[in-house]
Amino acid sequence: MWRRGILVGAMLALVAAGCSSSNKSVTASPGAETPSACNGAGQTGATAAIETNLGCIVISLDTKNAPKAAGRFISLAKSGFYDGLTFHRVVPEFVIQGGDPNGDGSGGSGKPPVVGETPKDGYPIGSLAAAKKGSDPDGTFDSQFFIVTGAQGTQLPPQYARFGHVVVGMDVAKKIEALAPPEGDGPPTQKVTMKKVTISGA
């Protein structure tokens, strides 16, 4: 399943190692939802500004070392594919995941997936990487992606195309993570929508 696609068996062991969650309602910071607050201003190179209802996350895209994966993300974002989609899965101290038009982890772009670039140095907190089905080849990327938000995510095996990192808005990513369900893995307790994803410098 796409929901379980980031890790198959190993993820369950990681998540089982003490997952607390919060059901608190989270509100956006003043001005966080305005376009001027979510345009990647001041960044160099290719960036993706993800404007959510909880604030903005700006990501530096690694078009040099991950041209296939970054290129797929850029293409989908420029087409408006991600606009209006949700972060459909959150796991405390692990990841937040989005990019599924079905909103439940089962969907994709409708295009053939690409096989992107896997890292040699793992997934530091803030990494942007491609979610995939467990049976897919390493580096497979359709449309779903995840942002590493905690230490458990840094322990992922090098099977997922990594193509960027958060440069602004890790606090927003952590707000989303804080909405993990009581079971510790699943849809957030409050809907989190990507209102718009804007690409700059590419």
Per-residue pLDDT of 77-132, as tens digits, reads 999 999 999 999 999 999 999 999 999 999 999 999 999 999 999 999 999 999 99
41 pLDDT tier (thresholds 50, 70, 90): low
Structure tokens at 29: 């910071």
- Does the pLDDT at position 23 exceed 70? no
% of the chain surpassing 70 pLDDT: 80
Which CATH class, in words, describes the domain spanning 47-200?
mainly beta
**Mean per-residue pLDDT of the chain:** 84
- Does the pLDDT at position 76 exceed 60? yes
Mean pLDDT highest for which of 10-14, 15-19, 107-111? Answer: 107-111
CA count, 13 A, side-chain hemisphere, 2:
25
Predicted confidence at residue 121, as pLDDT, reads 94
CA distance 48 to 46: 7
CB atoms within 10 A of CB 112: 7
